[in-house]
Copies of this chain bind each other. A is one copy, B any other.
Amino acid sequence: MNIDRIRAAAARLAGHAVMTPLLESPLLNRAAGRRVLVKAECLQRTGSFKFRGGWSALTSLPSEVRQRGVIAVSSGNHAQGVAHAAELLGVPAVIVMPSDAPALKIANTRAHGAEVVLYERATAIRDELGAQLAAERGLTMVKPYDEPEVIAGQGTCGLEIAAQARAAGVTEAEVIVPCGGGGLTSGIALALAAEAPGLRVRTAEPAGFDDTARSLVSGRIERNASATGSICDSILSPSPGDITFPIIAAHCGPGLVVADADCLRAMAAAFLRLKLVIEPGGAAALAAALAQTNRAPDEAVICVASGGNVDAALFQTALDRFGGDCN
């Protein structure tokens, strides 16, 4: 992985991905005691950054390989990102999802033209099922994070942050990134190391799912004890990847950990102050920034809001708890 691969992905994404804005709110700044800039990646196609990686991966394939189709194993944002990239490129996509995935996610994935193959969580080994389908049908597997062209696509978000922060007069800051398997984090870290070395990446993870924070401490890949148990569904990957972790270890500061309630509070703040819909996992970075109360007024912070695919009921819970109270 290197910056040239990210720049090449940016060239392929130009005109296809949204150049998402870097937003700030004077009233949010006032509440936080410093500038808080939010990279609104929830406004990306399909509601999360995952479209970048999906498009990058598919457009990096040789044409005859791509035409045979692609396959992804995901019940979440990666599914929609890959399905929509395939739809735009006119190639078949198969998405392997658990049969108990939310009906809306299955419906959305199908609406993007993908064939959804359901499996029973209790009985099937999903990665084997995916590999088997890929072999049978000649499909190319698009992994969610531990794949160079996927990382390169997510890294284009970092190129945009570098340019937008410079335009906003910010050259020294922490850039906090919600972290699951580390594709977005590693891509942004590589992009900023090359283009904006005064911007230093830190990860944000939910309490109990801080595999990357612990891996950064121990220096080797650590795993989470549990696979479920946080509302931050989009960033509960079991461990950082074999490709992503060395990049994160080389470029990122200590990992930050947030409680689910901090994420709900950040979602309410984004509603009130930024007019953005952010999903719980996507709000982890803003949550971490708002929890840092001991920072100097001249220390700006940049938070990536990585996605906005949240059900109405959970969003309402955030507003119920913090919608009148997050100043």
- List chain A positions with a Cβ less than 8 A from chain B: 15, 18-21, 23, 25-27, 30, 40, 42-43, 45-47, 84, 87, 107-108, 111-112, 167, 268, 271-272, 274-278, 308, 312-313, 315-316, 319-320, 323-324, 327
Residues on B with beta carbons closer than 8 Å to the beta carbon of A271: 277, 312, 315
Given known contacts A42-B275, A271-B277, A323-B312, A21 and B23 CB-to-CB distance under 8 angstroms: no
Give the interface centre of A26, A42, A275 by most chain B CB atoms within 10 Å.
A275
- Main SS at interface, chain A: helix
Bound-state CA distance A278–B275 (Å) is: 7
Per assembly, the copies of the chain total 2
Contacts of A274 in B (CB 8 A): 43
CB within 8 A of A20: which of B21, B30, B313?
B21
- The docked-state distance in angstroms from the alpha carbon of A275 to that of B308 is 6
Taken together as a complex, chains A and B put the C-alpha atoms of A20 and B22 apart, in Å, by: 10
In the assembled complex, the CB of A13 is this many whole angstroms from the nearest CB of chain B, namely: 14
**How far is the CB of A313 from the nearest CB of chain B, in Å?**
8
Cβ–Cβ contact B308 & A315, under 8 A:
no
Q: List 21 A-B contacts (CB under 8 A).
A: A18-B21, A18-B23, A20-B21, A26-B46, A26-B111, A27-B108, A27-B111, A27-B112, A30-B111, A43-B274, A43-B276, A107-B327, A268-B312, A275-B278, A276-B276, A312-B319, A312-B324, A315-B319, A316-B319, A316-B320, A316-B323
